[in-house]
Structure 1
Amino acid sequence: MDLMATISQAAVKQDLYDAVNGDWQATAEIPADHASTGGFMDLVDGIEKTLMHDFDAMVAGKTTPNDPQLAEFIKFYQLTKDFEKRDQDGAKPLRPYLKQIDSLTDLADLQQRMPDWIYDGLPLPFSLDVDADMKNTKVNALFAQAPNTILPDKTYYDEGNQQGPKLLAVYGQMMLQLLQLAGESAAQAQQIVDDTLKFDRLIVPWVKSAEEAADYSKMYNPRPFKEFVNNSRYLDLAAITYSVINGNPELVILPEPAYFDHFNDVVNPDNFTMMKNWMKAKLVQRLSGYLSDEMRTVGTTYSRTLSGQAQPRSQAKSAYYLAAGAFDQVVGLYYGHKYFGETAKADVHHMVEKMIAVYKRRLQANTWLSADTRAKAIVKLDNLGIQVGYPDKLEAVYTKYKTLPAADGGNVLSNVLCFGRIARQDMFAKWGQATDRTRWEMSADTVNAYYHPFMNIIVFPAAILQAPFYSLDQSSSANYGGIGAVIAHEISHAFDNNGALFDEFGNLHNWWTDDDSAHFKELAKAMIAEFDGLDFAGAKVNGTLTVSENIADAGGLSCAEEAAKGEADVDLAAFFTNWAMVWRMKATKQYMQLLLSIDVHAPAKLRANVQPKNLDDFYATFDIQPTDPMYLAPDKRVKIW
C-alpha cells in the first residue's frame, strides 16, 4: 500500500491530519444511528456486520453453535430479536419491580430488601463491588461507590453552563414519556421526574468531576469498616454488607469519600419519598432497552441528544448488541478463534515483546532518571503481563448462564436480571480471594486496547489487530505507525502520571526518588500545557483531564518510531501517515463537545497532529520549517519517554 501516493509534503506542512484524511473527511457521512464515523468505528461496524451474519445464521438453523455457552447466547439472541413478543409484553416484565419500590414503607424496609436489590443491580443510593486492593493487588477488596448523576459530569451543573439546563429538560421529557409507558399516570410521572431531579442535585456536590476522577491516586481512600458503617444513621451498612460478603471486611475503599461523609444529608427519612421516585426513574430508564421497541427508542432520547446521534439503532442492531453485551466474553472468544486464530495471536504477541524490548533499551538509555528509579522502572517493565487476541479460556461464570425461553415464561428482562445476579454473586464471592491476573476485562471483539495499572498488564483484543492498525499488506513502518504505536501507548501507560504510581505488582507504591518524581511532574506539566486550551469544536481541551493519555501517546509514538527505524524497509513518511490515518474521525459537534468534557483522551485530530510535532524526525521527513503551521520550536517539544 503506497500511503504517500495521495498526500503532498506541502499539505503535511500545513496540517498532517488534513493532508492524510482531508479527502475522506470531505465525503464521509456519519450514519444516522452513529455519533461518529472513522478508523475505529469502521472496524466496529465491520465486526458488527460479520458477527450478526454468523449469529443470524445460527438463529435460522443454517449453522450450529459449536459450544454450550454459545448455544445459550443464541437462545437469548432469539429472545432479543423477537420484537413482536417484546411489544406484546410492553412494560409488563418491569411492573413487579416498580411495585416493589411503591411498596417500600421506610428506610428500614428498604434495608431488608437491599441484598436482593444489590444482587439484581437495581438502583440504590450507593453500590458495593469487589476489585483488587490498590495497595495489595494480590487480594480482592470491597469498594463502596456513589451513584451516577444524570448529567455526564458535575461541571454541567455549574451556574452559567448553558448545556446543563437544556439536557435536564430533555431528560425530564423523556422520563415523562417512559414513565407513562410503564403505567404511571401523567401526574404521577411528573412528580417522579420532579423528585428525581431534586434528589440528583443532592448527590452532585459530593461527587468528583471527570478531571478529579482522572487522578488515580485519589481513588484510594481506604476507610476502616467500623468507620464506614457509621456513615449512615438510618441504614445498617454492616448488615447490608454481611448479606452479600461472606466474611468480616477490615476496610472499605471509597473512590468518592465526600459522598459518604455526607451520606446522611442525602439518605434520610425526610428524603425517603424523593429517593423512592429517583429509584423508580433510574429503574425505568435503565431497563427500558429490554422492553418494547417504543420504550427502547424513547429510552435513548437523552443519550442521543448528548451525542448528536440522529436516530436510534435499528431493531436488528439493538437486539444484537443487547444479547452480545450479556454474553460478551462468549461472543469475543467465538470472534477470536474464528477470525484471528492462534497463528496471528503468536505473531502479535511477538510484536508486543519486540516493542517491550525497544522500550527497555530506551529506559536503559534514559538521561533524566536516576539509576535507582531507572532500575525499578525496568523491573516493572520486565513484569509487564501481555494478553493478545483472546483469553485462553472462558470465565467459569458464563457456564452458569442458562437462557429461559419464552415458552417457559422467560423474557429479555427476566434473563438479563438473572445473568446479572449470577455475575454479581460471582463477584462478591471473590472478596478476600486472590485476584486473577489472567482475567480479561474487554472481550476479543472490542476495538480497543488497555493497560491495567492494578495488574500491570497490557491487553490487545483481536478486533483492533487489523488494518489500518496492522496488516501483512502494509509496510513495517505503516504497521509501526498503527499497531506499534498502540502497543507502545499501552506500555507507556505503565509510566504515565497515573501508571507511574503503581509498582511491578500493580500496587499503589512510590518507587521514585523525590528528585525524579519532581522532574517527572514538571514534564507532565509541560504535556498539560501543550494541550490545555487548544480550540476544538467550539470549546477547549482540558490538558489536565487528558494528560495521562497524552503522555502515553507521546511515549507510544516515539517508541514505535524507534522500532520502525530498526527495520530494513524503514519509511518514516508511511509511519507518520498511518499514525494520522488511524485517528480519522468525523463526529457530531455535540459528541465532540461531550468528549471534551468527560473523555481522558484528547480529540482524535489533535492526537494525530500534536504528537508528531514533538519528534525531531517529523521535521526532517517532511522538510517542515519554522514558517510552517506544523512547526513547533525545539524548546516547546515535550519529550518524556
Structure 2
Amino acid sequence: MRLNHFTSDTAAGGATKDFPVNDQQLTQDLYDAVNGAWADQATIPGDHASTGGFMDLVDNIEKTLMSDFRDLLTGKLMPANDEMAAFKRLYAQANDFQQREATGTAPLKPYLDRITALTDLDDLNRHLVDFIKVGLPTPIDFGVEPDMKDTSNYALYLDAPNLFLPDKTYYEKGNQAAAQLMPIFTSTAEKLLGMLGYSTDDAHQIVADAKAFDAQIAPHVKSSEEAADYVKVYNPRDTSAVAKQVSHLDLTGTIQALLGDVPEQAILPQPIFFDATNDLITPANFELIKHWMMVKTVFDGTGALTEEFRQVGGTYRRALSGQKQARSKEKAAFYLATGTFSQVVGDYYGRKYFGEAAKADVRKMVLKMTHVYQQRLKANDWLSTATSEKAITKLQKLTIKVGYPDEIDPLYRKYRVDPDKSLFDNLQAISEVAIQNYYGHWGKPVDRERWDMSANTVNAYYSPSNNEIVFPAAILQAPFYSLDQSSSANYGGIGAVIAHEISHAFDNNGSQFDEFGNLNNWWTDADLEHFQGLAKAMINEFNGIEFAGQKVNGKLTVSENIADAGGLSCALEAAKSADDVDLRAFFINWANVWRMKATTEYMQLLLSIDVHAPAKLRANVQVKNLDDFYTTFNVQPDDAMYLAPADRVKIW
C-alpha cells in the first residue's frame, strides 16, 4: 500500500522551481491553477513516460548517485563496507560495455537449451525444482510469505503466473489497447529469438505457442480491480487437495524439495486459476507451455547482455508506457546494478544525504501526526466506543520506520561478484542466492525489521501484515519537506504523506488487520456496515470520471483514495494547530506534489492497472471534501471546484 504507483531505486535533490499560481483559477481547477504554468513549459524526456514532482526527485537522485558512483569506480570514493565493494565490482561489470559486447548473448543460451530439451510434462517434473531454484519461469508460482492470519510465521502461497499483457481485461474481445500492443510484443519476442540464433519460422512458432498458452491463462486470473481487494488474497486450501487439482505436475514433491516440508495448508491468492489447471497444464499443451517458458526467459535476460539486445528487448515495455526511447546504456547499467544491490545503495544514500539527525527530526513529525490521528479517532462521531478503542490500540502499536534501516540486510553479505565471470553469470549467481534465501524463510519467524523499499526510493508505504509505516529518505525533501518551506506547506506535503500511510491502517483493506498485522475483524457489525457505506461513497466520488480518454475505476482506486482523504484531513488539522498556519500554502503544496505530465499511453496504462487515481484527480477531488478549502479560497456553488456539503465524503 504505497503512496505512488512507481518505485524507483534512486537520491538527493534540490528544491522544486517555483512557478506562478493562477489565483483566478483556484476555484475552478486547483491542480491547473498551481501547476498550469509548469505544465506549459514541461517536457517529458525521451527516456521517460512522465515528468513532474516524483520524477523530478527520481532524476535528481539518479544524477547524484551516478556522479558518486563514477567516483567509486575511479577510486576517488572508497567502499564503506564489503557489501559496497561487491556492488562496485558489479557496477564496473555493468559499465564494461566492450566486454558485454564480446560476451554477446551466449550466457543466456544454456538456460533456453534446458527448456528446449524438455520432452514432456514428466520431464518438466524432473527439472521443475531446479528451474525454480535458478529463476526460470514455471506455470505455477511458489511463494513463502507471512501468513495473513498469523503474521509472525510464514505460509506457503501458490499462485498463477503473470500475463504478457498488463491485465486480463486486455484479453477481452475488441480491446483496442491489446490490438495495438500484442503485435509489438510479438515482433519484439520474435526479433529477440532471431538474435539468439533461432530461424524465422522457429521464432514465429515459439511466440505463437507462447501467446496461445498465455491467452488460455487469462480468463482464470484476477483483474487489477479484483486483486485490489487485498483481503481476498487469503484463500487457504488443503495442500493435498490442490495437488490433485494440478494432476500433471508433482506439486507435493516440488514443495518438499523447496521447503524441506509439505505444509498441510497452502494459500491461493487466485483459486480460480487452480480450478482450471487440469485444463491448462496438460500433455496436449506441453509444447505451448515450453515455448511460453522460453519467451519469458528471453525477456528476463534482455538487460544483462548486449546493448542491441537490451534496446530491442525494451521495445514492448516502451510501447506500454509511450516512452519514446530507451535509457542510455550508462543509465541502464546504473539501474541494473543499484537494483541488484538496492539496500546497499540505500544505506549509502541514507547515511550520506539524510543522516541520523534528520531521521530523528522526521520521526518526531510522524509521532506528532499519529497523535493528531489518535485525537481524531477519539473525536470520531460515527465509531462506537468498542471499535474506536481497538482502532486506537492499533494506532499505538504502529511501527514507524524513517530514512533507512539501522543495518544492511544480511542477505547482501552472501552476494559474490567474480570478475572472471560475465555480468550475466554474476547476476544469475546472485539471483540464485536470493532465491535460496527466499525459500529458506520457511520454518523461521518473520523478520519484522526488514524494509521492502531502499532508502533511495521516492515513495512510502504501509504494510498491513507488519502494521508499520515506512518513509524512505528519498521522499523526505522538497517539495514534500524542507526547512525553507512554511510549516503549512510541509503539512500539505510530507504531513499528508505521513497521514496517508497511517490512513492505510484504516482503509477498506488495512482496516481488516489488527494491531499485530493479522487478518482479524475488530469492528462491531454496525460500525463495519457504516464504514462500508462510506467506502462506497468514495468509490462513487471517483468512479467514471473522464481522464485521458478513459474513465477512472472507483473500485480499483478506493483504498488509495480513502488513504488520501484521511491523510489530507489529518494533515490539515495538524497545520491548523501551528502558530504560523497558512492554509493557502497548505492546499497549494498539496496540489504541487502531484505535479505530473505523462504520455497518453502511460496514463491509460495506469487507469487500467494502478490502484492510485490519476495525480491531477488526487489533487483536485480530495480537497472538495474539506470545508476549509471552501473558506480558504472562497469557493462558491457556481465554481467548478464546488461540491455540495451532502456529497462531501468524510471518513477519517
Q: TM-score, normalised by structure 2?
A: 0.97
Write out per-residue CA displacement over residues 325-380 of structure 1, whole angstroms, 9 at most, x where no aligned residue: 11000000000001000000000011000000000000000010111111100010
Correspondence for 1:512 among 523, 532, 535? 523
Q: Does structure 1 residue 581 correspond to structure 2 residue 592?
A: yes
Q: Which deviates more from structure 2 when the two are superposed, residues 463-472 or residues 101-110?
A: 101-110
Aligned to 1:634: 645
Q: Does structure 1 residue 139 correspond to structure 2 residue 149?
A: no
Aligned to 2:384: 370
What letter matches 1:191 in structure 2? Q
What letter matches 1:199 in structure 2? F
Correspondence for 1:268 among 261, 266, 282? 282
Query: Aligned-pair distance for 1:247?
Result: 2.2
Rounded Cα–Cα distance in structure 1 between residues aligned with 2:22 and 2:604: 31
Rounded Cα–Cα distance in structure 1 between residues aligned with 2:224 and 2:134: 27
- Name stretches of at least 5 consecutive residues in structure 2 with no aligned partner: 1-14
Q: Across the two proteins, how many residue pairs are aligned to each other?
A: 638
Aligned to 2:12: none
Aligned to 1:290: 304
Alignment of 1:143-162 (within 5 A): 143-162=157-176
Q: Does structure 1 residue 420 correspond to structure 2 residue 431?
A: yes
Aligned to 2:57: 43
What letter matches 1:354 in structure 2? K
DSSP-derived class of the 1:602 partner: coil
Rounded Cα–Cα distance in structure 1 between residues aligned with 2:107 and 2:17: 54
Correspondence for 1:32 among 46, 55, 60? 46
Write out per-residue CA displacement over residues 179-228 of structure 1, whole angstroms, 9 at most, x where no aligned residue: 00111111110000110110101110110000000001210011112112
What letter matches 1:469 in structure 2? F
DSSP-derived class of the 1:56 partner: helix
DSSP-derived class of the 2:531 partner: helix
Whether the aligned pair in 1 keeps the contact of 2:16 and 2:478 (CA below 8 Å) is no
Rounded Cα–Cα distance in structure 2 between residues aligned with 1:411 and 1:418: 11
Aligned to 1:315: 329
Query: Aligned-pair distance for 1:457?
Result: 0.3
Aligned to 2:372: 358
Whether the aligned pair in 1 keeps the contact of 2:225 and 2:556 (CA below 8 Å) is yes
Rounded Cα–Cα distance in structure 2 between residues aligned with 1:3 and 1:620: 28
Query: Aligned-pair distance for 1:266?
Result: 1.1
Q: Does structure 1 residue 216 correspond to structure 2 residue 230?
A: yes
Aligned to 2:559: 548
DSSP-derived class of the 2:253 partner: helix
Aligned to 1:86: 100
Rounded Cα–Cα distance in structure 2 between residues aligned with 1:248 and 1:13: 61
Rounded Cα–Cα distance in structure 2 between residues aligned with 1:539 and 1:56: 44
What letter matches 1:630 in structure 2? M
Rounded Cα–Cα distance in structure 1 between residues aligned with 2:350 and 2:149: 34
Seen in structure 2, the aligned counterparts of structure 1 residues 594 and 4 have a Cα distance that, compared at 3 Å, is closer
Alignment of 1:233-272 (within 5 A): 233-272=247-286
What percentage of aligned pairs have identical amino acids? 59
Q: Does structure 1 residue 22 correspond to structure 2 residue 36?
A: yes
DSSP-derived class of the 1:459 partner: strand
DSSP-derived class of the 1:62 partner: coil
Rounded Cα–Cα distance in structure 2 between residues aligned with 1:7 and 1:496: 33
Aligned to 1:480: 491
DSSP-derived class of the 1:17 partner: helix
Query: Aligned-pair distance for 1:312?
Result: 0.4
What letter matches 2:43 in structure 1? E
What letter matches 2:186 in structure 1? G
Whether the aligned pair in 2 keeps the contact of 1:182 and 1:284 (CA below 8 Å) is no
Whether the aligned pair in 1 keeps the contact of 2:255 and 2:261 (CA below 8 Å) is no
Whether the aligned pair in 2 keeps the contact of 1:139 and 1:433 (CA below 8 Å) is yes
Whether the aligned pair in 2 keeps the contact of 1:386 and 1:459 (CA below 8 Å) is yes
Aligned to 2:73: 59
Query: Aligned-pair distance for 1:246?
Result: 2.2
Q: TM-score, normalised by structure 1?
A: 0.98
DSSP-derived class of the 2:581 partner: coil
Whether the aligned pair in 2 keeps the contact of 1:91 and 1:183 (CA below 8 Å) is no
Query: Aligned-pair distance for 1:165?
Result: 2.0
Aligned to 2:4: none
Rounded Cα–Cα distance in structure 2 between residues aligned with 1:342 and 1:62: 25
Query: Aligned-pair distance for 1:9?
Result: 3.4
Whether the aligned pair in 1 keeps the contact of 2:19 and 2:37 (CA below 8 Å) is no
What letter matches 1:606 in structure 2? L
Q: Does structure 1 residue 12 correspond to structure 2 residue 26?
A: yes
Q: Does structure 1 residue 299 correspond to structure 2 residue 308?
A: no
Aligned to 2:6: none
Q: Which deviates more from structure 2 when the two are superposed, residues 230-239 or residues 374-383?
A: 230-239
RMSD of aligned residue pairs (Cα, Å): 1.2
Aligned to 1:329: 343
Seen in structure 2, the aligned counterparts of structure 1 residues 108 and 4 have a Cα distance that, compared at 3 Å, is closer
DSSP-derived class of the 1:94 partner: helix
Rounded Cα–Cα distance in structure 2 between residues aligned with 1:7 and 1:45: 24
Alignment of 1:141-220 (within 5 A): 141-220=155-234
Rounded Cα–Cα distance in structure 2 between residues aligned with 1:240 and 1:423: 18
DSSP-derived class of the 1:142 partner: strand
User: Deviating runs (4+, > 6 A) in structure 1?
Assistant: 1-5
Rounded Cα–Cα distance in structure 2 between residues aligned with 1:183 and 1:8: 59
Query: Aligned-pair distance for 1:127?
Result: 1.4
Query: Aligned-pair distance for 1:91?
Result: 1.1
- Name stretches of at least 5 consecutive residues in structure 1 with no aligned partner: none
Rounded Cα–Cα distance in structure 2 between residues aligned with 1:568 and 1:616: 20
Whether the aligned pair in 1 keeps the contact of 2:259 and 2:439 (CA below 8 Å) is yes
Rounded Cα–Cα distance in structure 2 between residues aligned with 1:92 and 1:68: 30
Rounded Cα–Cα distance in structure 2 between residues aligned with 1:415 and 1:514: 55
Query: Aligned-pair distance for 1:429?
Result: 1.1
Aligned to 2:9: none
Correspondence for 1:340 among 354, 358, 362? 354
Rounded Cα–Cα distance in structure 1 between residues aligned with 2:527 and 2:268: 29
What letter matches 2:414 in structure 1? K
What letter matches 1:138 in structure 2? S
